[in-house]
Amino acid sequence: MSTQTQIAPPLVRYDVVDGVANIVINRPEAFNCYDWDTTELLRAYFRRAIADDRVQGMVLGGEGKAFIVGADLDFFVNSIEARELWRIVSAVEYVHDILLTVDHSPKPIVARVGGLALGGGFEFALACDYVVASPAATFGFPETSVGVFPCSGGTQRTSRLIGVGLAKWLILTGKVLSARQALNMGLIHQIVPADQLDATCRAIALGGKCPPRNLQRTPELAALERFFEQNRVDELYAGTADTLGDAALARAMKSVASKAPIALRVAERLIEAGSRMSVDEGSKMETAHVMQIFETEDARRGLKFRLNGGLGQPAFAGR
């Protein structure tokens, strides 16, 4: 009796079609979170496309309902439990290397976002030259709700696009943005219907026009920006910052109070310091704080809580 060997689908699909390299993370069952093998393939494919004379531009996407939802939580929890934090530092350094390759690519790279772009997925999108989304896309940095901070460029690239105050609001609260909100904040370039996403991204990768990012400072955003610029994270966490009776500011401050305090303080320092240096320097600064945050009890609690499907917020210890 003959047996058939099941061939596992590739973690990342790569092809070149008429001048465009398509790089697609293919882990839809895991919402395209990336593990070590996935990142190795991503780095290899970006470098291949940059070196390939046939390639004029690239499109980065994710299979299924998500773009990328960040790194594999199993890896973080297992490394913490094994007391092998050096593995996490090495993995973060590796992702930074990929994103700096994307940053410095001489060929345009378009992020094709058809669904969730959270954590590391948002960081990948922000490193690309263009971000084109479907109406169903969502964007956010949930890291402080699990005891860590966005450590693959999130504290660095965000402030360069929307300023320190709004970057602090976004990262310290873990606010999840709709595609329309992300567009109005100048974090993405364009929203198109889902059935036009592939053609639009392809055209831009080949040198077509794309609307520029455009931060629309509504009165609500301007108030949030001032509030988070003028108040320190400890005041926000303690609930003592003056909201001037603004209900939206009070809600934002309450959201900060539910996050991990050490992660909040480190994120604030990185956002503010990073705004005064290059992305390359900021990436090194972020990496230098990875060991510090992942060795906290809050990181261990938060990551295990989320990995085990916990709802709401874990009880952080502040240590």
What is the C-alpha separation between 122 and 185, in angstroms, rounded?
14
Q: Give 21's strand partners.
A: 16, 58
Residue 81 · residue 45 · CB < 8 Å = no
Kindly report the number of other CB atoms within 10 A of residue 280's CB atom. Answer: 13
DSSP state of 215: B
Instruction: Name the token pair of 168.
Output: 């602090």
Sign, CA dihedral 260-265-271-274, equals negative
The active-site residue, picked from 63, 93, 143, 229, is 143
What is the C-alpha separation between 98 and 25, in angstroms, rounded?
14
Q: How would you classify residue 314: left for phi > 0, otherwise alpha for psi between -120 and 50, otherwise beta?
A: beta
- Can you tell me whether residue 110 is helix, strand or coil? strand
The active-site residue, picked from 29, 63, 123, 235, is 123
Instruction: Name the token pair of 164.
Output: 């320190």
Catalytic residue list contains 123: yes
Q: Which residues of 198-233 are buried (b: 16+ CB within 10 A; e: fewer)?
A: bebbbbbbeeeebeebebebeeebebbbebbeebeb
DSSP state of 70: -
- How far CA 215 is from CA of 87, 144, 161, 184, in Å, comes to 38, 24, 8, 6
Between helices 154-162 and 261-274, what is the axis angle to 10°?
60
Catalytic residue list contains 81: no
Q: Which residues are catalytic?
A: 123, 143
